[in-house]
A and B are shown apart, each in its own frame.
Chain A
Amino acid sequence: SQQGEEDPQALSIQEGENATMNCSYKTSINNLQWYRQNSGRGLVHLILIRSNEREKHSGRLRVTLDTSKKSSSLLITASRAADTASYFCALRGVNAGNMLTFGGGTRLMVKP
């Protein structure tokens, strides 16, 4: 299966703490993307990491990719209540054309 699997399924932390979400997959990828979704509405693209990259940063976000272990992690530093959302990894598989394959998501709750 190309589908990403996310861990944990749910995460509850206090404001100011760091949040780490993991994504594992089974196929070869062109890139891996992370999206945020608030309250079951539209997805917002956060960051894309290519298969030949190991780490990328964007503001308080840090993404790592280990293609040998077929895994990625998303770290949100100094979390805020506004970060409360579901976070999804999405794979662009080598043989998948233009299709993105999403994981089941991690539901993050940041308590004020």
Chain B
Amino acid sequence: DAGVTQSPTHLIKTRGQQVTLRCSPKSGHDTVSWYQQALGQGPQFIFQYYEEEERQRGNFPDRFSGHQFPNYSSELNVNALLLGDSALYLCASSLALQGNNYGYTFGSGTRLTVV
């Protein structure tokens, strides 16, 4: 049973560039959430996708955008990268029908370094 798969595992980008991170949810899951985790801190919610639409968004600027595909996989795009965007980006999947009282399944994350 494949868990959540994220790619790439590591990425180095230059300030001002754009980046795309990818996530395949756990088999059977239909909802994907993205989190940003700065070094030494807890993860912060970026947004959640369900039925190919952004269902909820956290306190992140419009430079952060996403997409969900018909197979439930998802992309996170960040434009005009800043040094402060350096972080571990985590993807979490869940099944909408299960409701709120289930935990998320997280991927291993993508470590983004902006230089």
Contacts and interface: CB of A to CB of B under 8 A. Distances in A.
A4 B43 CA distance: 12
A46 to B, nearest CB: 8
Interface string B6-34: 00000000000000000000000001010
Contacts, number: 67
A28 to B, nearest CB: 14
B45 A42 contact: no
B49 to A, nearest CB: 10
A43 interface: yes
Interface residues of B, number: 30
B104 A42 contact: no
Contacts of B40: 104
Interface of A: 3-4, 30-31, 33, 35, 40-45, 48, 50, 88, 92, 97-105
8 contacts: A30-B100, A42-B106, A42-B109, A45-B105, A48-B101, A48-B103, A98-B100, A104-B42
